[in-house]
Structure 1
Amino acid sequence: MSFQTALTGDVTLRELSKDDADALADAYVRNREHLAPWEPERPEEFYTAEWHRERLWTQVLENSAGRALYTVLESDGRIVGRLNLTDVVHGAFENGHLGYWIDAGFTGRGLMTRAVEAMVAHSRDELGLHRLQAATLPHNTASQAVLTHVGFERIGFAPSYLKIAGEWQDHVVYQLILHG
């Protein structure tokens, strides 16, 4: 099943495709400085289409196996953000983790809030998940605003949670219960 939804007249949230390598590399190059404080350190090769072409198929396979839902925000054929549902666990847990970023030129428009709302509805109604989880750096107030606007609640603090920008950094953990 292919996932796609219009967020605005010019931005669409859609499932990642095996043909997205060039557009992904372009998006990461364009946003390299913008994303550096919020993401793991990346090797130089990460910013090439070849790097993405070699690895993209695994994310597409994860999508088809139901273990993840990797998506992109697209505007006029350019990727302007990512929203990924990963670590999907079914059974007694029915849980997934959200991670996302938005292009520097598209911040402040409410796009990621709309994208997360669409992913929440899809996770609940189509994937049957019970809970979503997300973690943000304590000083990432924009990301926290997206989560709280959509209804996520803060549930904890995780010391040295992820290695971001070359350092193990604390994170604030949020959850959203989809079926009450």
Structure 2
Amino acid sequence: MDVKIVSPDDAYRLSKFYEANELHLRAWEPAKEKGFHSVKAWKERLQDWCSPQGNAMSVHFISTTPEGGEVAATCSLTNIARGPFMACHMGYSVHQQYEGKGVMKALCQNVINYAFEELSLNRVMANYMPRNHRSAKLLQSLGFSIEGEAKRYLQINGVWEDHVLTSLLNPGNT
């Protein structure tokens, strides 16, 4: 798989990724309004994310198939904080046909390396719903530590869901 930071040219492939995985991802993501994953909406979003004046508080990555360039997985660093905190949140999703094949772990590892080496962050945080056993296993395999549980942390499909809070600390910082 190829890993890259998203660009405005990725609007079509991201739209197709979310269209193909709508049911697969629905249980784990906040509800989206109609048209949220249209090519037009992705073009607008990516223009903002990728512009020099855009959202410097996030970086978004995709893993694509070598043969067709289709999106196999996404991973984002959001809420990037500088100063004494030097931290961010990491979110991710994988195409249902690549689930359990190591694609997500490889992409997340690349993104974590970017967070620590390129952004010099001290902490990457990732949270998951207690019933999401795949996310628990993924984060554990990446070295994340459980720090606690947040009650009614995020609204997922209209329901306030508890989340397990985890983090990974930059091994180069002491």
TM over 0.5: yes
Unaligned runs of 5+ in 2: none
1:14 alignment counterpart:
4
Tell me the matched-pair count: 170
Unaligned runs of 5+ in 1: 1-10
Residues 63, 112 of structure 1: CA spacing in aligned structure 2 closer, same or farther, 3 A cutoff?
A: farther
Within the candidate set 120, 124, 134, 1:128 is matched to 120
Counterpart CA distance in 2 for 1:24 and 1:12 is 15
1:158 correspondence with 2:155: no
1:3 alignment counterpart:
none
TM-score by length of 2: 0.92
1:97 alignment counterpart:
89
Q: Deviations over 1:83-118 (max 9, x none)?
A: 000111111000010000000000111111111111
Query: Does the CA contact (< 8 Å) of 1:16 and 1:72 recur in 2?
Result: yes
What is the CA-CA distance between 1:65 and the residue it aligns to?
Answer: 6.2
Query: Does the CA contact (< 8 Å) of 1:62 and 1:69 recur in 2?
Result: no
Please tell me the root mean square deviation across aligned C-alpha atoms, in Å.
1.6
1:6 alignment counterpart:
none
Higher alpha-carbon deviation: 107-116 or 133-142: 107-116
2:25 alignment counterpart:
35
TM-score by length of 1: 0.89
* Structure 1 segment 60-71 matched on structure 2, within 5 A: 60-61=50-51, 66-71=56-61
What is the CA-CA distance between 1:47 and the residue it aligns to?
Answer: 3.2
What is the CA-CA distance between 1:32 and the residue it aligns to?
Answer: 0.6
Residues 153, 15 of structure 1: CA spacing in aligned structure 2 closer, same or farther, 3 A cutoff?
A: same
SS in 2 for 1:46: coil
1:49 alignment counterpart:
39
Counterpart CA distance in 2 for 1:20 and 1:175 is 29
Residues 26, 97 of structure 1: CA spacing in aligned structure 2 closer, same or farther, 3 A cutoff?
A: same
The letter of the residue matching 1:103 is H
1:114 correspondence with 2:117: no
Counterpart CA distance in 1 for 2:147 and 2:127 is 10
Counterpart CA distance in 2 for 1:160 and 1:65 is 27
Residues 44, 65 of structure 1: CA spacing in aligned structure 2 closer, same or farther, 3 A cutoff?
A: closer
The letter of the residue matching 1:97 is H
The letter of the residue matching 2:50 is V
